[in-house]
Structure 1
Amino acid sequence: MTTTSKGLNVSLEPHLVDALKQVQNALPEELKAKLSEYVAQPAKPIIPYELLQEVSQWSRTPGGKDKLGSKSMNPQDYSMVSLLAGTTTSPEKSFGDYTPPPSPEKQAADRARERKAITALVNSIFSIFGAGFAAWWASDRTGWRDEYKVLFGLAVGVIVAISEGILFLIWTSRGTSTGSRKSDDGRHKKDDADTEVESKEQDEPTQIIKASTQQDEGSTLRQRHQQL
């Protein structure tokens, strides 16, 4: 018995209840007592997967095959495939909603946007340090004290950093809206292309029929002229 089946339940469908009731009296006493808790009226909505597995394993034993054969019952009807047919695994559990993966177009757009964002950040860092160093170097000719030169360079760097941050936020917001519009346009274009292909495929048989009809009419007219 695998560890993955522990704790799993199976929905006890009406056809499964009937199948288990038919084999209940042929089971060993211990297994019969376990099964009676679930198939007795009113039947429970679920049954442990392990219990069904025990019934299936018993049906494959020599003693189980003999008892089932004496009651004109087929052991294959109690295999796990037959018992689990039409049932639901763990219906009492609430699984999360399935989130489909993004389309290839959206993935490509996201990767391109990430590369642009990284490039913009690197350029901003170089701009900040470059502006600060340029301000410090330019203030060297003013005769200021060293601490004033450093403060001036830092102030210029902070101003450039703030401006770069604002520009980056604006670029990010515009890039997000543009990317969503492009993906929507791409989906619409794809749908339009599929519609055009379908319409062409539908028109081709009509054109063939028209061409064949025209050929038949032309041959009929020639035959009439020959007869005249």
Structure 2
Amino acid sequence: MRVLVVTAVPAERDAVTSGLNAEGPPQTLRLPGGYVLHRPAAPLVLDVVAAGVGPAAAAAGTATALTAASAADAPYDLVVSAGIAGGLQQPLGGVVVASSIVAADLGAMTPSGFASVGELGFGTVEHAPPKQLVRDVAEATGAAAGPVLTVSTVTGTAERAEELAARHPGAVAEAMEGFGVAEAAAAHGAAVLEVRTVSNSVGPRERAAWRIPEALAALGGGFAALVPVLRAWKP
């Protein structure tokens, strides 16, 4: 079982790897534009890469790692988008797992409101992780399961938060990379998962209320709890 974990920034990568310390020290594998922290302990290989902020950087970094692995005849079975996120009615420090990974602002504004790329007939705006894996992760980590929204512009007003919640009932969080990671994974035939911890509430931008250190600590704890699930999962 080979798993690639993709974060946006090094702080998230380091939080994830703190939860994987029991898996042994990583090796560093160089890639164009970056590197992967590689833990080759069979039967579960766990690699972690910080690909950059936003869906485009996430897709490019994920695709690079996936292509390098395929070229080495060691493709990944699962790609996990991981990091911190804004929560939609979720407690700060809480864990969320995506039942669907949704591109929430990929589309066009029309006189009648937002129309997604899917509604416009230009592609997909949603990827679905394996249902049983989502259930197992939620049980192991205490995560709330629901749609996780990928946006290119972080929500900073109550009006925008209400609009997103109305268009995506049951959404649990907003982040910036999941859909890009999922697009790259789909192109390589790998399953995808998104796991995040809540650092702030989606709505008016109040940096003083954010709890980034607590969310990063929870991310490490979440991945420590996630490892047994990944060991047991069969693609």
TM range (shorter): under 0.3
Structure with the higher fraction of residues in strand conformation: 2
Structure with the higher fraction of residues in helix conformation: 1
Larger radius of gyration: 1
Higher relative contact order (CA closer than 8 Å, sequence separation 6+): 2
- TM-score, length-scaled by structure 2: 0.20
- TM-score, length-scaled by structure 1: 0.21
